[in-house]
Structure 1
């Protein structure tokens, strides 16, 4: 199977730029979204936009659990789902993950959390560290998780790792889909994991599975609509490599340029147009800005 590097980012990685992500070269990201019942990552949209501009195409989200009983687990799961829908437009089959790394978290509460995710139509993931795994009954959790992510690396050691982990150190545990093997990939101070099953690849690569099973990549990928036309620029605009205003530019197009597009992406106000290019690639131009103002006219 193909091994893929998956990054793990929280607000601590808010300084990473699109160029940093491009240099790292990973195409998948799991971003921290919530913790307990009160914390929401204030940089979540920044992380998604910069990662996408740097070449990341697959996204999942995790919740840092703070619960010690089933009732609190259900409350936190519902907060996680609510924020995921509001902040990242999570749709059916998006991969949502429980980060279980506090002491005295009951197996029954982990199951209660995962059951809420599944009942709401999401793929349910479970994450923990190898040294904490004996605290949980993995066999009981297994029927309620779609994805198992396990961390195993020397703690307190910030030596930079490359994208080729030594599998002699792979944790001896069952059902692992994704192995987090470092907390400092290439010196960027970001956690990195590697896929070890086809299941992990499938969940992060919806183009390889049916639409019924495909998870959301991020808010942009869920709303593209096929629509062909020509857009005449009313001012000088950049043709971007991805549909994000901070994405690198392919070119700067002068006023009056005509852009032939084959699909549109309508955000709350901003409108993106997709231009087919050579070798199956695309360029992206803004048709309406963040205020809903048209930046040209349609022919």
Structure 2
């Protein structure tokens, strides 16, 4: 059996929690040691009122992992035992990203205080950074088929579990909302919330059906600035004026400012420096770049096809 979920933060619409496809809602609680989601309690109670399973996540800020674990637990103490505990390990606003000890120290501290092992949210490309947690923690892998997969039907593609024996959950889109499939039933979800249970085995995961067309992100590469790009042919239509630049940095030289309603064909996208960027092919082997989404708030600056 499988389950589906969404996640929410302070800027999320109530409609995401209310979406009938989602059997579980994962709520951002804290970040670093100085931020608490001001809508946290409201969002949790709304999800509870709808009978959804719950998860609570801490976004790693890269400071002292023990201090961040304490901050997380201190702020969700009333909910410990009622939902999955999650550490969100991403590169944005995380000064420790790239290290291999931070998450291990965080999950150990949470376990010491609560008896619960966190589930780890991490992109497929960064699984090696949390490999030393594989014997204790479940893993929730982020790997998108594309930036505009706005569907509850999961794409037919392979996802690595790295050092983990299996994938507990998979985020397969971050378009109009974050969608996840979990290889769990409700009883297994509840076991993740309880003390002294290491990495419960999920339901058997479906194999990629080779008879079906595979949605493939195709080529992925890292440019000379260290930013990872994903090949994708698409069309973006802006809903506001956006700068078109010669490079994928806010500091890059501006070519022009495109007005709202501009249609841009792109061949690749990248999530870095707080934004999702697209690359526009131009003549003579040149490219232009523009931001199309705020990676922190997930606000899109237009629509994708």
Aligned to 1:256: none
Instruction: Quickly say closer, same or farther: Cα 1:51–1:171, change in 2 above 3 A.
Output: same
Q: TM-score, normalised by structure 2?
A: 0.55
Q: Work out the CA distance in 1 between the residues paired with 2:36 and 2:193.
A: 32
2:79 counterpart SS class: coil
Aligned to 1:8: 7
Query: Which residue among 97, 100, 114 is the counterpart of 1:107?
Result: 100
Question: How far did 1:192 drift?
Answer: 1.3
Aligned to 1:125: 119
RCO higher in 1 or 2 (8 Å CA, sep ≥ 6)?
Answer: 1
1:168 counterpart SS class: coil
Q: Where do 5+ consecutive residues of structure 1 fail to align?
A: 215-299
Q: Work out the CA distance in 1 between the residues paired with 2:112 and 2:17.
A: 34
Q: Work out the CA distance in 2 between the residues paired with 1:211 and 1:10.
A: 24
Aligned to 1:168: 157
Q: Deviations over 1:77-119 (max 9, x none)?
A: 000000011xxx1234742111111263422121110001111
Whether contact under 8 Å (2:23, 2:52) holds in the other structure is yes
Q: Deviations over 1:188-211 (max 9, x none)?
A: x3211101256xx444246xx998
Residues 237-248 of structure 1 mapped to structure 2, 5 A cutoff: none
| Count of aligned residue pairs for this structure pair | 190
Residues 61-140 of structure 1 mapped to structure 2, 5 A cutoff: 61-67=56-62, 72-85=64-77, 89-92=78-81, 94-102=83-91, 104-121=97-114, 122-134=116-128, 136-138=129-131, 140=132
Aligned to 2:181: 194
How large is the Cα RMSD of the aligned pairs? Answer: 2.8
Question: How far did 1:38 drift?
Answer: 0.2
Whether contact under 8 Å (1:28, 1:204) holds in the other structure is no
2:125 counterpart SS class: helix
Whether contact under 8 Å (1:33, 1:62) holds in the other structure is yes
Instruction: Quickly say closer, same or farther: Cα 1:104–1:27, change in 2 above 3 A.
Output: closer
Q: Work out the CA distance in 2 between the residues paired with 1:212 and 1:111.
A: 17
Q: Work out the CA distance in 2 between the residues paired with 1:58 and 1:137.
A: 25
Query: Which residue among 194, 204, 214 is the counterpart of 2:189?
Result: 204
Instruction: Quickly say closer, same or farther: Cα 1:210–1:142, change in 2 above 3 A.
Output: closer
Q: Work out the CA distance in 1 between the residues paired with 2:193 and 2:159.
A: 31
